[in-house]
Amino acid sequence: MRYAAGDRDALEGEWVYPSMDRPLSIPWRGVLAAGPSAAVIGCREPTATLAEIGARVSVFQPDSAATLIHEHWSGFRTASRLVVTDAISWGAVWRQAYASVSPQPPQRAVNFSTEAVIVASLGERGTGGFDIRVDSVVAHEGGIAVYLTTVAPGASCFTPQSLTQPVHAVRVPWVHGSAYFEERAVVRECR
């Protein structure tokens, strides 16, 4: 995993924060529950504006080892942007992601005392060729900014004619504060 701290030298395995006069609070707990009609468990999806979370202090770019789930067929039928901060919620996300798979793969372990999981789902699409990726996570003084890329197939693409529900989940160093999600939409043309 690559970690960088603003203009400072790269650090292995740590986020760098400036000294703070007060601890930051976490406005979210839990995430979507498993099942076709997802419900929120004692939380809300994280929301903040980029201005509210302050100056940038470090950047995390997930590599393949950070990816916990990257599927095109999942149980996430609606678009979601989530920050998972506990094991019970992570179990619910895992079950929802693999709701249509039997037997489900073993759940990937996450140490929630030092890590969190960012989950981004695109929602159900009518064909294949769609995807979603977490590109980077930027730590700010008051939270994180998550940068996503959503991909749609171009008009010249031959795609599978089946329903897809793309989802991407990555482990990140645990952070305090609010979350802001910014998306970049890309159309991938086929030749």
- 160 touches 128 (CB < 8 A): yes
**Kind of pairing, strands 56-61 and 131-140?**
antiparallel
- 59 touches 136 (CB < 8 A): yes
| CA end-to-end distance (rounded Å), the chain | 33
pLDDT at 116: 93
Least-confidence region, from 17-31, 73-87, 125-139, 161-175: 17-31
Please state the pTM of the whole predicted model.
Answer: 0.72
pLDDT digits (tens, 9 = 90+) for 73-123: 999 999 999 999 999 999 999 999 999 888 999 999 999 999 999 999 999
